[in-house]
Structure 1
Amino acid sequence: MSRGAQTQISKTKDLKNPNEYVLALSNELRSWAFDEEQAPRYKGHWRDQIFEADSFSPLDLEIGTGNGFHFAEHAKRHPNRNLLGIELKYKPLVQAIRRVLRQGGTNARILRYNAVHLDQLFEKEELNNVYIHFPDPWEKLRQNKHRLIQLEFLNRLFHLQKSGAFVEFKTDSRDYYLWARERFEQSPYVIIEDSENLHQSAYAAKNFVTHFESIFLRKSLPIHYCRLQKVQQNGAIRA
């Protein structure tokens, strides 16, 4: 995920001197990338209008794709799952979807939007699995209010996911991990996997190392990890 993400989002059409990445959205990538005004139009219709898929087709979301290594790998590993990515910054947004297209993927699209407002993009139970990797930690105490992981956000996301779907969270910040975990416990989700050192845990074997993650690993920094699940009331699980 790109660091230092904006809390207020500017409109693409208002940019006076759009760079090559901004221009790519309305040219080569117009069928693959949607700006902040286009994206809300497909609320409730991502499957049928964008992916031409039925209502049972999985629709996953990555919040903060960064330059798209995990985004592209997910699309490649799971060709039968549709994938949306959210990113604010133009350059990584374009890099992420280009990475998918270079490997021949057709099951992914990317959106420029503020993830705080997911309810403007998705209807109730429209989403399956959600990935939140290395969001901005906003380390200073006075900045904590800007963190993506808030109880209100989790309650909103829970409402938007199908029963049995999961949320995968990774961060290099122990402070953010402890903050997030406290809110995970207060939320409707069930924590099903948890580690303060992902790469020394039983979960390491299935983990895909993101770009940010590789940087932290080279510095011998531990990666903190949680996986949450929306459990059906009868206890049945499906994702």
Structure 2
Amino acid sequence: MMYGEFAPWSFDESALDNRGQWRSAVFQCPEHVPLDLEIGTGNGTHFAHLTETHPERCLVGLELKYKTLVQSIRRSLRAGCKNGRMAKIGAEQISELFAPEEINNVYIHFPDPWPKKRQQKNRLIQEKFLKDLYMAMKPGGEVEFKTDHYGYFLWAVSKFRSSPFIIEFFTEDLHRSFRKDKNFVTHFESLFLHKRQPIFCCILKKAIP
């Protein structure tokens, strides 16, 4: 665990010790309780929204920046929610962080697009990451991916199509789609909307056998 006032709610690399026992050891809840994951929580508006509107679910957030990690857990606690935990660890370690079929839904909002060609190897959405994510998710779980970068969106969709996931939905303008009313506008998203930039979105699903 991390130090300071948020120690009970946040982890550093010690989070890896929770693999396979997030429900039992960390949240102390039954195994049937849904466990969701947000990769890159930013300032925590979406993280807090999820913990507040879905008290029946548990949520783990991954954030590498300490300041925004603290913002995320603070927002959730201020809302009186105790069903969220944060980990200062990279998403590329997901197979070390979660056991097979341990998590339900996953949120990936506005990851770094690494726009230059030589940087694309640093993008989160890669074949290995998607394979590891698929293994960590329960059948029926969904992945919500959003970005403002069209090049990254096309890249991601091509990777999704060659992955085991089913593409349930994708759009090049989320706020003109039928999913608009279901969408929670994150802080980053509001900045792009103010500039009248379209939001690209894709929903993936792990099929139920």
TM bucket, shorter chain: over 0.9
Task: Kindly tell me the number of residue pairs found equivalent between the two proteins.
Answer: 209
1:149 counterpart residue number: 125
2:5 pairs with 13, 28, 52, which one?
28
1:18 counterpart residue number: none
1:167 counterpart residue number: 143
The answer to whether the aligner puts 1:177 opposite 2:153 as a matched pair is yes
> Cα distance, 1:114 vs. partner?
0.8
> Cα distance, 1:54 vs. partner?
1.0
> Cα distance, 1:193 vs. partner?
1.1
Following superposition of structure 1 onto structure 2, how do residues 67-216 of structure 1 map, counting pairs within 5 Å?
67-216=43-192
Q: Structure 1 CA distance, aligned partners of 2:176 and 2:88? A: 35
**SS of equivalent to 2:156:** helix
| One-letter identity of the residue aligned with 1:113 | I
> Cα distance, 1:151 vs. partner?
1.2
Q: Structure 1 CA distance, aligned partners of 2:44 and 2:187? A: 8
**SS of equivalent to 2:7:** coil
The superposition leaves residues 90-116 of structure 1 with CA deviations (integer Å, 9 ceiling, x where unpaired) of 000000000000010000000000111
The superposition leaves residues 24-68 of structure 1 with CA deviations (integer Å, 9 ceiling, x where unpaired) of x412011000012x1111111100111111111100000000010
**SS of equivalent to 2:188:** helix
| One-letter identity of the residue aligned with 1:66 | G
Q: Structure 1 CA distance, aligned partners of 2:110 and 2:7? A: 28
Q: Structure 1 CA distance, aligned partners of 2:168 and 2:87? A: 29
| Residue segments in structure 2 that go unaligned for 5+ positions in a row | none
| Residue segments in structure 1 that go unaligned for 5+ positions in a row | 1-11, 13-24, 234-239
**SS of equivalent to 1:61:** strand
Flag as ranges the 4+ runs of structure 1 deviating above 4 A. Answer: none
| One-letter identity of the residue aligned with 2:11 | F
Q: Structure 1 CA distance, aligned partners of 2:111 and 2:24? A: 30
1:59 counterpart residue number: 35
Q: Structure 2 CA distance, aligned partners of 1:120 and 1:67? A: 25
Q: TM-score, normalised by structure 1?
A: 0.86
Cα RMSD after superposing both structures: 0.9
| One-letter identity of the residue aligned with 1:32 | W
**SS of equivalent to 1:193:** strand
Q: TM-score, normalised by structure 2?
A: 0.99
The superposition leaves residues 173-201 of structure 1 with CA deviations (integer Å, 9 ceiling, x where unpaired) of 00000000000000000010110000011
> Cα distance, 1:214 vs. partner?
0.3
| One-letter identity of the residue aligned with 2:78 | R
Q: Structure 2 CA distance, aligned partners of 1:116 and 1:34? A: 16
**SS of equivalent to 2:94:** helix
Percent identical: 52
**SS of equivalent to 1:92:** helix
